[in-house]
Amino acid sequence: MEWLLLRESAFDILILISGDHDFMPLVEKFMNYGKDVFICPVKATGNTEMIETATDTFFIDDILSEELELCKSEYAKNTLKGAIDIQEKLKDRPIKTADKHHYLDDKSNESDKRKRSIRKIVDAVYEREKTMHFVSLTYFRDKILPDFMNPESADDFQNRKNFMLELMESDYFSVSQIDNPKKPEFKTSIIRVNHNNTIIWQWYPELSKVTNELAHIFEENEALKNDNPVK
């Protein structure tokens, strides 16, 4: 980026599709060279200092508002259709019991171990959500994750950070920013269980926002079938 910056005639405006504070040195350097810097963050995660420093800010939420609403609408339709299709397919299928003598191969065992490990980490975060105002990324990295890592790996900061980044990219957690209680002018990054993940709903039914609605739809469909039997 500095090589690009030194090509003075190459451009006048830098458009950064991010609101991450890690890019702050880049923004300041470009602006010190007389370039205009426009940033395009998501409203919920845009860093306040970045927004105040940049030449101007355009929120992705506003730019893509129509597309986002269309995506939500299509997602709702597909979710409902998928749920009804699954119900139809499973309606007459006998329930199979697991063979207690069946053993998974080594690869499957590793996959199961990983899923169990993630479940335990999700449990740990969910339990703290009940008692703490929020779980900061720093607390998650330095206080929670070491309990689920080998001692040697847990002692290394970079290992903890890499593990945290891997989990942040999964669909089991959601990351956002809130005002720092001690310094309201700064944002604090927090992590929580992703309450919109359907796997999370299976683990914690109390978090489900759609299950009751779908159950009601299923009941209505069954009632219609009973009132209008197929001839």
| 22's tokens | 């890690």
Q: What does the pLDDT read at residue 154?
A: 84
Which of 142-156, 175-189, 196-210, 215-229 is least confident? 215-229
Q: Tell which residue, 123, 115, 114, 144, has the closest CA to residue 204.
A: 123
On whether the pTM is more than 0.85, the answer is: no
Pair 160, 146: CB distance under 8 Å: yes
In this predicted model, what pLDDT tens digit does every residue of 108-163 receive, in sequence order?
566 666 677 888 999 999 999 888 888 988 899 999 999 888 888 888 888 888 88
Average pLDDT of the residues in 199-216: 70
Does the pLDDT of residue 231 top 60, yes or no? no
- Cβ-proximal residues to 120 (8 Å cutoff; 6+ apart), any chain: 148
The token pair at 95 is 């329930």
Q: What confidence tens digit (pLDDT) does each residue in 212-224 have?
A: 555 566 566 666 6
Considering the domain delimited by 2-62, tell me its CATH architecture. Answer: 3-Layer(aba) Sandwich (3.40)
Break the chain into its structural domains and give their ranges: 2-62, 108-211
**What's the confidence (pLDDT) of residue 112?**
64
